[in-house]
Amino acid sequence: MEPAIILVRPQMGENIGAAARAMLNFGLTDMRLVAPRDGWPNPKAVAMASGAAGRVLDQARVYPTLAEAMADIDYAYATTARGRELTKPVLTPATAMADARERTSQGERIAMIFGPERAGLENDDVARANAIITVPVNPDFPSLNLAQAVLLTGYEWSRDSLPAQPAPQGRRPDGEATATRIEIEKLADHWEERLDEAGFFFPTEKAPAMKLTLRNLWSRMPLTRADTRIFHGMLRQLIRRD
């Protein structure tokens, strides 16, 4: 069962709409609102959401208190900008959502709680949560807005449900100088010019696609500086013969 996203005393309708969009990016649809400042429904929230995110708002439930919004929740994470003086575990989103997936698989109902813009959750709100999520941002510039905090949490919720990917192929050989970007650009330019002169890009209407394919080919190769010299040299040699 998917986690509930509880917004406590949200202020701007636009931010509620943006939070609904952020949720739906990661398939989350159970939005709960505690005492939204400007009442509910809120036309500014609807305007900010769109399409299916509007349906998330339509289905959102509104509660007078956080306690009521959490009535069916077994385990809740409160998001705060910094750790508090509370004796609760303070988790990164990664650890918290791994824990949440584990609890969900055991049948627990999970919620993530977000506070109002600027002020954040009050201690009374945090007291109702079992654990705290703090996103590890630059301590000199923490500036996540409400929708961004929801976004990162939703991202972590779905992140590890994907199959692991292998790293891209084609690391360059160890100990060899990597071709710089500008060296690869020059190589691609050189080949494109000479091939153009040689009438390679024919018929004319296919030339742009052919050039694009070739650009892609060069930038995909794990070329060393030595490799680029070889390709330049081969090209010069081919032209000389011709």
Tokens of 1: 């069962």
> Minimum distance from CB of 159 to a second copy (Å)?
6
The rounded distance, in Å, linking the Cα atoms of 80 and 95 is 15
If the CB atoms of residues 119 and 182 are measured against a second copy, the closer one turns out to be: 182
Q: Are 85 and 57 in contact (CB under 8 A)?
A: no
Q: Is 204 exposed, middle or buried (0-12, 13-18, 19+ CB in 10 A)?
A: exposed
By the rule CB under 8 A, 25 interacts with a second copy: yes
> Minimum distance from CB of 73 to a second copy (Å)?
4
Tokens of 228: 């680029």
Binding mask 63-102 for a second copy (x = CB under 8 A): ----x--xxxxxxx---------xxxx-xx-xx--xx--x
Please identify which residue in 7, 8, 24, 121 interacts with a second copy, judged by CB under 8 A. Answer: 24
CA separation (Å) from 220 to 19, 105, 163, 188, 223? 37, 41, 24, 12, 9
If the CB atoms of residues 33 and 70 are measured against a second copy, the closer one turns out to be: 70
- Residues between 174 and 203 that touch a second copy (CB under 8 A): 178-182, 185
By the rule CB under 8 A, 59 interacts with a second copy: no
By the rule CB under 8 A, 131 interacts with a second copy: yes
